């Protein structure tokens, strides 16, 4: 007789480590993790940059745990992992939202490309290996990588005409690579009951510093819903993939793009 009891869409009792807590998307993801009941550890290159986020949650009666880490350094990553295990006893999930944007255009000096490789490729795999191995050892866990719809489609120069905005090539390289290496990682860790998925957002509206009107008008026409995403709309998909409700989902790229790539 099968068990038809629904699996819980909650993170209550789970310890989730998020890499990349600032910027447009980071705080919204932290809010979603806290609201879902997780014990949240935020790891950043600069612990001081998390001060306002930590204070805001403290004022609301929530505790988030800020940690500093150098993702270029495996010893630093291992020390962070071991501190979290010593304090919380386990690691149930990782949200990889960390990113660096040293490259601004296709014509940039190759030094910017090399820096981007170090930050966004080497730092990524070092982090996932350190924490994925820890979850594999305990026999469970979920990793959610944050990519972009630009990992599955090419650049549309028309969107940027009449603006100072652009789309550097390293971004497409890393986001496309993240999607496929997520499939590799899902296969690698599957035998240890560790799931690995990727969420690929479309464009996210920035209310504090709105995108150029010319870009917004064109971009909105490209989506089925006729608008950009709100940062908070990414939290639900991430929580689902971390929760037991998503426990049979692995190796998947979940596009959250308002239908942009489905046209």
- pLDDT for 4 beyond 90: no
pLDDT, tens digit, for every residue of 48-84? 889 999 999 999 999 999 999 999 999 999 999 999 9
Mean predicted confidence (pLDDT) in 102-109: 94
Q: Is residue 219 part of a domain?
A: yes
Q: Is residue 84 part of a domain?
A: yes
Per-residue pLDDT, 83 = 98
- Phi, psi of 120, rounded to the nearest 5 degrees: -100, -15
- If we measure between CA atoms, which residue out of 62, 68, 28 comes closest to residue 49? 68
User: Could you tell me the two tokens for 262?
Assistant: 């489905």
Mean predicted confidence (pLDDT) in 221-231: 98
DSSP string, 211-250: PPHHHHHHHHHHSSSSSPBPGGGGHHHHHHHHSGGGTT--
Per-residue pLDDT, 2 = 65
Helices 26-35 & 51-59, crossing angle to 10 degrees?
A: 30
Per-residue pLDDT, 62 = 93
CB 135 within 8 A of CB 192: yes
Q: Is residue 262 part of a domain?
A: no
Q: Helix or strand or coil: residue 53?
A: helix
Tell me what percent of the residues of the chain surpass a pLDDT of 90. 95
pLDDT, tens digit, for every residue of 168-205? 999 999 999 999 999 999 999 999 999 999 999 999 99
Which residues span the domain enclosing 237?
A: 15-256
Per-residue pLDDT, 1 = 45
pLDDT, tens digit, for every residue of 248-261? 999 999 999 999 99
| CATH code, 75 | 3.40.50.720
Q: Is residue 263 part of a domain?
A: no
Q: Is residue 6 part of a domain?
A: no
CB-count burial class (<10 Å; 0-12, 13-18, 19+) for 40: buried
Q: Which residues make Cβ contacts (< 8 Å) with residue 173, sequence separation at least 6? A: none
Per-residue pLDDT, 72 = 92
> From the CB of residue 130, how many other CB atoms can be counted at a distance below 10 Å?
21
Q: Which residues of 137-157 are buried (b: 16+ CB within 10 A; e: fewer)?
A: eeebbbbbbbbbbbbbbeeee
Tell me the average pLDDT of the chain: 96
The structural domain count of the chain equals 1
Q: Helix or strand or coil: residue 205?
A: coil
Q: Helix or strand or coil: residue 256?
A: strand
Report the distance separating Cα 97 and Cα 63, nearest Å: 20
Q: Is residue 198 part of a domain?
A: yes
Q: Is residue 7 part of a domain?
A: no
- pLDDT for 112 beyond 60: yes
Mean predicted confidence (pLDDT) in 90-117: 95
- pLDDT for 222 beyond 90: yes
The dihedral through the CA atoms of 55, 58, 62, 64 has a sign that is positive
Q: Is residue 87 part of a domain?
A: yes
Polymer length of the chain: 263
pLDDT, tens digit, for every residue of 29-55? 999 999 999 999 999 988 888 999 999
């Amino acid at each position: 007789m099968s068990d038809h009891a629904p699996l819980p869409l909650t993170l209550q009792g789970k310890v989730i480590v998020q890499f990349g807590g600032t910027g447009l998307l980071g705080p919204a993801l932290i809010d979603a993790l806290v609201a879902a009941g997780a014990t949240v550890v935020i790891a950043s290159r600069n612990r001081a940059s998390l001060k306002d986020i930590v204070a805001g949650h403290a004022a609301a009666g929530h505790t988030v745990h800020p940690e500093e880490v150098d993702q270029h350094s495996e010893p630093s990553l291992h020390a962070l992992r071991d501190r979290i295990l010593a304090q919380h006893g386990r690691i149930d999930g990782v949200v990889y939202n960390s990113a660096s944007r040293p490259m601004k255009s296709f014509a940039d000096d190759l030094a910017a490309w090399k820096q981007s490789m170090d930050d966004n490729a080497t730092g990524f795999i070092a982090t996932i290996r350190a924490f994925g191995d820890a979850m594999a050892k305990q026999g469970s866990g979920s990793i959610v990588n944050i990519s972009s719809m630009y990992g599955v489609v090419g650049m549309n120069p028309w969107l940027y005409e009449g603006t100072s905005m652009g789309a550097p090539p390293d971004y497409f390289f890393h986001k496309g690579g993240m999607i496929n290496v997520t499939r590799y990682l899902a296969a690698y860790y599957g035998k240890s009951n560790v799931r690995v998925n990727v969420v690929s957002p479309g464009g996210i509206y920035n209310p504090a510093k709105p995108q150029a009107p010319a870009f917004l008008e064109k971009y909105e026409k490209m989506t089925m819903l006729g608008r950009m995403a709100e940062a908070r709309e990414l939290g639900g998909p991430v929580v689902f993939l971390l929760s037991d409700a998503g426990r049979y989902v692995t190796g998947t790229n979940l596009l959250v793009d308002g239908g942009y790539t489905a046209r």
